């Protein structure tokens, strides 16, 4: 699992342990057959999702549903996202008008390492992003780390524009995607996270951007699937 040839391990080395059983269930959705009295808002509450998310998953253009209709429900098949950790009690939904994707432009690092670097650069709130997605080097491959700016619901420091920092969730995928590609797991994790933030948590409202849509930069790099993500998230 860790690609090791011998049984030597190092202090501080991160080891993958055990099978991830959920990997084989990645495309699993729950289904709900509409019964008498069911409404989309009622189902959204029961399943912990949102009306817009159910509508999008099922290609519905209105909230009319009929008895006997089989609806796809999200939330069952997450491999990397733990919704209970992202859904925080102090969420300020009015604050977040945008979600902005970045790469870190270096291969190494994790939320703690970047957080220290950002503090050294004078950012008193530390880690500039709200979320960091690992690549298997200094955190798990596809691991979603939640930064203190998300738990504190405070502005990011991930773009130059203060106006965007004040209103935008910053998601950093670790790697240099000018030179390399994101891992398959990173892309799955990124989709799970952005889907959850945009649709389940914020009612479909936030706009989706990659950094270079807004400012003069190569970020998130030419190997990041920008158009695919725009197709998916607007």
Question: What residue ranges bind Zn ion (CB under 5 A)?
Answer: 102, 211, 219
Closer residue to Zn ion, CB minimum distance, 70 or 121: 121
CA-based nearest residue to 169, from 216, 205, 118:
205
The least CB distance from residue 217 to Zn ion, in Å, is: 6
Closer residue to Zn ion, CB minimum distance, 198 or 211: 211
Encoding tokens for residue 71?
Answer: 């609806």
Closer residue to Zn ion, CB minimum distance, 52 or 165: 165
The least CB distance from residue 84 to Zn ion, in Å, is: 28
- Rounded distance, CA 140 to CA 152, Å? 24
The least CB distance from residue 80 to Zn ion, in Å, is: 21
Encoding tokens for residue 51?
Answer: 């009306």
Closer residue to Zn ion, CB minimum distance, 151 or 161: 161
CA-based nearest residue to 71, from 95, 89, 46, 90:
46
- Rounded distance, CA 131 to CA 86, Å? 10
Whether the CB-CB separation of 206 and 169 falls below 8 Å is answered with yes
Closer residue to Zn ion, CB minimum distance, 219 or 229: 219
- Rounded distance, CA 167 to CA 207, Å? 11
The least CB distance from residue 211 to Zn ion, in Å, is: 3
CA-based nearest residue to 195, from 230, 232, 227, 220:
232
């Amino acid at each position: 699992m860790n690609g090791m040839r011998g049984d030597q391990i190092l202090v501080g080395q991160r080891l993958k342990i055990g099978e991830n059983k959920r990997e084989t269930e990645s495309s699993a959705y729950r289904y709900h057959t509409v019964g008498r009295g069911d409404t989309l808002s009622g189902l959204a509450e029961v399943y912990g999702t949102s009306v817009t998310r159910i509508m999008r998953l099922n290609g519905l253009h209105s909230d009319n549903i009929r008895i006997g209709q089989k609806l796809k429900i999200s939330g069952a098949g997450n491999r990397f996202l733990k919704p209970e950790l992202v859904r925080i009690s102090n969420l300020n939904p009015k604050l977040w008008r945008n979600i902005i994707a970045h790469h870190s432009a270096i291969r190494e690092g994790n939320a703690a390492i970047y957080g220290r670097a950002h503090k050294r650069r004078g950012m008193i709130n530390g880690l500039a992003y709200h979320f960091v997605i690992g690549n298997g080097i200094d955190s798990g491959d596809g691991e979603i780390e939640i930064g203190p700016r998300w738990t504190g619901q405070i502005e990011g420091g991930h773009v130059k524009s203060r106006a965007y920092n004040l209103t935008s969730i910053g998601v950093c995928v670790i790697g240099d995607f000018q030179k390399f590609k994101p891992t398959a797991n990173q892309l799955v994790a990124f989709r799970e996270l952005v889907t959850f933030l945009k649709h389940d948590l914020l009612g479909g409202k936030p706009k989706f951007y990659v950094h270079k849509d807004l400012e003069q930069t190569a970020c998130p790099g030419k190997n990041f699937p920008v158009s695919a993500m725009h197709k998916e998230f607007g």
